[in-house]
Amino acid sequence: MRSDAAKRRRLIVQEARRLFAAHGSDVALEAIADAAGVGIATLYRNFESRAALADEVALAILGDMRAAGADALKSVGSSPESAWTAYVQRLIELDLGALSATLAEFVTDQISGTVRQAQAETLAGVEALLDAVRPAGLVRSDLDALELVLAIGLITRPLPDAICAATPNLVPRLVSILLAGMRPA
């Protein structure tokens, strides 16, 4: 594969992720191509179908999630509290909305084995971090990984621009409420 072609491919995935997160999983493929500054044909050459692109986006996000989890695990020993809040903060910024918007729709249909496995591994990683953080009294004992991920996914889903503009710091506020609510009673 030519190096310029590889660069374009990465750009497509990146923009797809951004647009999925911002406007939902059914954005026009042409909009993605436009955002990436490539022709629609280039997108189709790289991804056989919308689902194939969505899979790639999902894999990218899941990979980032695992990386965030690994980093947090490393620093949990020195400062559990800041490791935990930084981790959640980082999850928020991962465009998880794109995950919940696209993956959810393909998960049940024809999900590729690769994605399913990545998803399972990622959840296991989240669970591991939760276990590491729990002794510090930062999270309820009954909170599980799936719940955490879905909660963050839900509050970071595509939001009408009107609301975004009117209440710019809504998400941080909600996150702080969520974090507080996740502490042991």
Partner DNA sequence: AGAAAGTGGAGAATATTCCTCCACTTGTAC
Partner DNA sequence: GTACAAGTGGAGGAATATTCTCCACTTTCT
Task: Give yes or no for a contact between 129 and 136, defined as CB atoms under 8 angstroms apart.
Answer: no
Per partner kind, with CB cut-offs from 5 to 8 A, the member of DNA, a copy of itself, none near residue 17 is none
Q: How far apart are CA 114 and CA 39, in angstroms?
A: 28
Residue found by looking up tokens 């026009």 in the block: 28
Least separation in angstroms between residue 17's CB and DNA is: 16
Stretch that binds a copy of itself, among 38-46, 50-58, 82-90, 101-109 (CB under 8 A): 101-109
> 24 in the Ramachandran plot: left (φ > 0), alpha (ψ -120 to 50) or beta?
left
Per partner kind, with CB cut-offs from 5 to 8 A, the member of a copy of itself, DNA, none near residue 70 is none
User: Which among 79, 91, 107, 100 is positioned nearest to 154, based on CA atoms?
Assistant: 100
Site string for DNA, 8-47 (x = CB under 7 A): x-----------------x-xxx------xxxxxx-xxx-
Which CB sits closer to DNA, 45 or 74? Answer: 45
Task: Give yes or no for a contact between 101 and 154, defined as CB atoms under 8 angstroms apart.
Answer: no
Q: What tokens does 119 get?
A: 């998803």
Q: How far apart are CA 139 and CA 183, in angstroms?
A: 4
Binding site for a copy of itself (CB under 8 A): 100, 104-105, 107-108, 143, 146-147, 150-151, 154-155, 157, 159-160, 162-163, 167, 170, 173-174, 176-183, 185
Binding site for DNA (CB under 7 A): 1-5, 8, 26, 28-30, 37-42, 44-46, 49-50
